Amino acid sequence: MRRSPKDTEASARQITRRALMLGAAQVAFTAVLGLRMRYMQLEQADTFQLLAEENRINIRLIPPARGRILDRNGVLIAGNEQNYRVVITREDAGDLPAALDRLAQVIPLTPEDIDRTLREAARRSAFVPITVADRLRWEDLSAVAMNAPALPGINPEVGLSRVYPLREDFAHVVGYVGPVSESDLAKLENPDPLLQIPRFQIGKIGVETWMEDDLRGQAGTRRIEVNSVGRIMRELDRDEGTAGADVRLTIDAGLQNYVQVRLGEESAAAVVLDLATGDLLAIASSPSFDPNLFVRGISHSDYNALTGNDHRPLANKTVQGVYPPGSTFKMVTALAALEAGVITPATRLSCPGFLESGGRRFHCWKSGGHGRVDLARSLAESCDVYYYDIAQRVGIDKIAEMGRRLGLGLRHDLPMSAIAEGVMPDKAWKAARHGAEWRIGDTINASIGQGYVLTSPLQLAVMTARIATGRAVAPRLVAAVGGVDRPVPEAPPLGLRPEHLAAVQQGMYAVMNQKRGTAFSSRIVEETLALSGKTGTSQVRNISAAERARGVVGNEDLPWNRRDHALFVAYAPAQAPRIAISVVVEHGGGGSTAAAPIARDIILRALTGEMPPLSAYPAAQRNRIETQQRNMKLRPDLVPEAGSSRA
């Protein structure tokens, strides 16, 4: 059927309209596509370039060099050494167990190494390199490099690891570093990305942990090009980051070594303070341990040997250990009584060998008594009854107040781990701690540093420094950070009357330099170096009335752990004090026999800057001292040259 011209014209108009609509849609689509392509090619060019490069370029963090720790003279205490290691990146290695099996055919790997790597890989992102083995020999590192084509995702690296060249001498002060643990990360709100690197080392105890932020530094970065199987092809650029700041301590490494050797195998501690600045010149705990063992991963046998030792080598006795101070506390009681006005230096009291109070007998160490004694003699001969008497007159609260004034019962602010506060008890303390009323017997026991009183060797050294100077000397361990000296705060006066301090100082001088003084045998005969000190012996067991009746068993006849602690505190020179010292020998017996001789040797070394001169000892002791010095195994590089005296 033929269509009419009118129908043909209408159909043509309809086709033309549809064609125009389709053409417009095509033009619009092409325009949108063009605009999108322009946006992606021009405005998003950098983004897509980066996405493309990420297929062949990786960015890795570079751990910074850890800051060094030095002694006051620049001697290296903690540094860094080259460490050859092998790392694996899970996203590049593919089948991780298979990759580790291939690596084990090239270098020695233990099952523990493989298990640890698999555990770390499960906790970390796939792009984070994991250390499989470190401290490798150069030959092992070369073997990994030579077999690189067969070990995708596995790369040899040269890094830095912590090393402690002076080993045992500074273990308790500086501490050691170790790999970041999950508990370490849990303590931080916004952990440094560096800490996410497996086996990255941070400080665990001591200065290493307390100065961590200064020592760590800031991470660097490197961009590397990798091939299709993750093998590193080349390094494109590198930013080394910022090394950690060096930390310089106040300690003299030569003196520290001498103290550590002089303490020997005793379970003991010694603290040496500079009176002018509060600088800790030496702070040693014995026996010690090698911190390098912990950095490298201590074995079970080594760790068990340390924890099973009854002398507790892992404990820092200088600040963690707290002991009844014994008679070294008598200066506190004396100053409290003098300042309260209940006695004068000339007050004489009778000592028949005991004091009865509340139906109980409190004994003096000298069973026959000392007769009538004044303050100076009570200190020189360490009469207990004198202090029992004056303590009842002055009361425990004033004694405790004086103790705190002299630095006892306080936590001194130092970058060391587990610093003990000790116990400086008073009536309120006993009520809060034990829910009991303070009794007169408690005061009597406290007057001679027994009962509830507990102090650390650090606190005893501070107490001695304050008695020697009349100022609130505070201990200081860090001298400089990043080459910038830390200011030395001026020690304010204690506010004690000069005549009272002088009276106590006179008694301490008599301890060392009068024939009846308890430490006369440990005196220094050169007047310009003369000591003022105080011995102390603190009981670790109760002596029953029955034992007293049949005769008290001597320390030498008791098991080691039931013997008394031996203590000694001193300052020198007596007439112009420069150095204060405290020594505690656990279960050493008497302070005059065990602790005082050690302290004398140490303080002579500190004063003279060289091996203690034989001329400073009583003539009858010089042959023995010479033999002792000859047998001391000091570090040769830390032995001062003859004639380097600082006296």
Cα–Cα distance list, 558 to 308, 547, 555, 589 (Å): 21, 13, 5, 10
Q: Is residue 484 part of a domain?
A: no
Catalytic residues: 327
Supply the CATH number for residue 272's domain.
3.40.710.10
Are 263 and 165 found together in one domain? no
Report the Cα 545 to chain-centroid distance in Å: 43
Domains: count for the chain = 2
Contact indicator for 596, 531 with CB cutoff of 8 Å: no
Residue 318 — φ and ψ, nearest 5°?
-65, -35
Higher pLDDT: 176 or 112? It is 176
> Which strands sit side by side in the sheet containing 232-239, from one edge to the other?
57-62, 220-226, 232-239
One-letter amino acid of 421: E
Confidence at residue 51, expressed as pLDDT on a 0 to 100 scale = 47
Q: Is residue 15 part of a domain?
A: no
Are 211 and 258 found together in one domain? no
Structural domain of residue 525, as residue ranges? 253-288+315-474+493-638
Q: Is residue 87 part of a domain?
A: yes
Q: Is residue 18 part of a domain?
A: no
| Cα–Cα distance, 584 to 284 (Å, whole number) | 11
Q: Has residue 159 got a pLDDT over 80?
A: no
Higher pLDDT: 91 or 249? It is 249
Contacts of 553 (CB under 8 A, 6+ apart): 547
Are 528 and 556 found together in one domain? yes
Domain termination site, one of 231, 249, 267: 249
Each residue of 460-469: pLDDT tens digit? Answer: 999 999 999 9
Are 70 and 108 found together in one domain? yes
Q: Is residue 27 part of a domain?
A: no
Q: Is residue 469 part of a domain?
A: yes
| Cα–Cα distance, 466 to 214 (Å, whole number) | 31
Contact indicator for 404, 410 with CB cutoff of 8 Å: yes
Are 592 and 617 found together in one domain? yes
- Reported in sequence order, the residue ranges of 349-494 that DSSP labels E, i.e. its strands, are 349-351, 354-357, 360-363, 371-373, 478-481, 484-485
Are 272 and 334 found together in one domain? yes
Q: Is residue 106 part of a domain?
A: yes
Are 116 and 225 found together in one domain? yes
One-letter amino acid of 191: P
Supply the CATH number for residue 150's domain.
3.90.1310.10
Helices and strands counted in the chain (H then E): 24, 21
Half-sphere exposure of 50 (CA within 13 A, CB side): 5
List the one residue out of 434, 171, 160, 187 whose CA is nearest residue 313: 171
Express as a percent the part of the chain with pLDDT over 70: 85
Cα–Cα distance list, 202 to 161, 184, 483 (Å): 11, 9, 22
Q: What is the mean pLDDT of the chain?
A: 87
Helix (H) or strand (E) holding 271: strand 268-274
- Bridge-partner residues for 568, per DSSP? 535, 583
Are 227 and 132 found together in one domain? yes
Residue 203: how many other CB atoms lie within 10 Å: 25
Contacts of 6 (CB under 8 A, 6+ apart): none
Are 529 and 577 found together in one domain? yes
Res. 336 pLDDT band, cuts 50 70 90: very high
Coil vs helix vs strand at 49: helix
Are 218 and 141 found together in one domain? yes
Are 283 and 216 found together in one domain? no
pTM of the model: 0.84
| Cα–Cα distance, 588 to 562 (Å, whole number) | 10
Residue 532 — φ and ψ, nearest 5°?
-120, 130
Confidence at residue 63, expressed as pLDDT on a 0 to 100 scale = 76
CA angle 401, 378, 274 (to 5 degrees): 60
Each residue of 358-395: pLDDT tens digit? Answer: 888 999 989 899 999 999 999 999 999 999 999 999 99
| Cα–Cα distance, 242 to 237 (Å, whole number) | 16
Residues in the chain: 647
H-assigned helices in 470-581? 498-513, 545-550
Most confident by average pLDDT, 2-6, 19-23, 401-405, 591-595: 401-405
Confidence at residue 182, expressed as pLDDT on a 0 to 100 scale = 74
Are 238 and 261 found together in one domain? no
| Cα–Cα distance, 267 to 68 (Å, whole number) | 30
Q: Is residue 328 part of a domain?
A: yes
User: What does DSSP say about strands 130-133 and 371-373: parallel, antiparallel, or unpaired?
Assistant: unpaired
Confidence at residue 507, expressed as pLDDT on a 0 to 100 scale = 97
